[in-house]
Amino acid sequence: MYNSGKIIIGLLVFVLAATFPIWYNAATGQSDEYKPDPKIVVDTGYCVAETNYMRKAHMDLLNDWRDRVVRDGERFVNVQGEVMEMSLTNTCMMKCHWNKEDFCDECHNYAEVSPYCWDCHLEPKEVE
Ligand code: HEC
Ligand code: HEC
């Protein structure tokens, strides 16, 4: 028998080198092939806040809304003169982002976050 230990190490080094781009992309979360493409369903300008702000801070805004509703008993907020219900399902999803799969999930899968909100909150369902 030849030195099988060395052969196995050699094989391992080869496999690692050959697959370098795959695991490097996986480890750094980068991939040339895939970029998230949230299909945003908003036809008239913006709703609660500007897109750039929402991209960065929607989780903070949702937390703030939740605290105000659940802890302080407020239900409504005035946004640019429009009275809105502070509600994940009734406002965010029913008014604009009704397709959780194409919108929220598209980004969250890419960013590898899985908010547990829908354990309790309802996700709108399409009616045929
Ligand atoms: C264990 C169940 C549960 C989970 C999980 C949960 N919530 Fe809630 N949430 C509630 C309940 C109950 C209320 C109070 C509902 C009410 O008073 O209308 C509430 C209220 C809210 C409200 C204000 C009212 C409304 O209709 O939206 C927001 C906003 C909210 N939650 C956001 C979130 C977000 C964001 C997440 C995920 C990070 C989340 N919640 C996860 C149970 C939950
Ligand atoms: C443009 C991309 C994008 C879209 C669209 C998006 N999210 Fe997010 N969301 C993110 C990213 C990125 C994070 C993680 C941020 C971080 O970890 O700091 C996140 C985190 C969250 C969190 C906090 C989760 C946690 O565990 O901390 C909540 C809640 C959330 N998103 C709710 C929503 C909801 C509800 C929708 C759809 C109505 C949505 N997001 C759509 C990119 C997006």
- What's the mean pLDDT in 2-31? 64
- Provide the pLDDT confidence category of residue 22 given band limits of 50, 70 and 90: low
Ligand 1: residue whose CA is nearest its atom 3: 120
Q: Which of 29-43, 70-84, 87-101 has the lowest mean pLDDT?
A: 29-43
Question: What is the pLDDT at residue 48?
Answer: 85
**pLDDT tens by residue, 12-21:** 666 666 665 5
Q: Is the pLDDT of residue 45 over 70?
A: no
Query: What are the phi and psi torsion angles at 64 (to 5°)?
Result: -65, -45
Q: Across residues 113-126, what is the average pLDDT? A: 93
Q: Is the CB of 62 under 6 A from ligand 1?
A: yes
The answer on pLDDT for 59 being more than 80 is yes
Cβ(76)–Cβ(85) below 8 Å: yes
Q: In the chain, what is the straight-line distance between the N-terminal and C-terminal CA atoms, in Å?
A: 68
d(CA 106, CA 73): 32
pLDDT tens digits for 32-44? 566 667 665 544 4
Output the CA 110–ligand 1 centroid distance in Å: 24
**Residue range 81-92: mean pLDDT, rounded:** 92
Looking at residue 29, what is its pLDDT?
A: 54
Q: Specify the residue for token string 């991209």.
A: 55
| Cα dihedral 39, 53, 49, 69 sign | positive
Mutate to test the pocket of ligand 2, among 39, 110, 113 (most ligand atoms within 8 A of CB): 113
Question: How do residues 97-106 score in pLDDT, each as one tens digit?
Answer: 989 999 999 9
Measured in Å, residue 101 CA sits from the centre of ligand 2 at: 13
Question: Residue 5: pLDDT band by 50, 70, 90 thresholds?
Answer: confident
Q: Is the dihedral of CA 12, 17, 18, 24 positive or negative?
A: positive
| Cα dihedral 63, 65, 67, 68 in deg (nearest 10) | 160
Positive or negative: CA dihedral 12, 13, 18, 19: positive
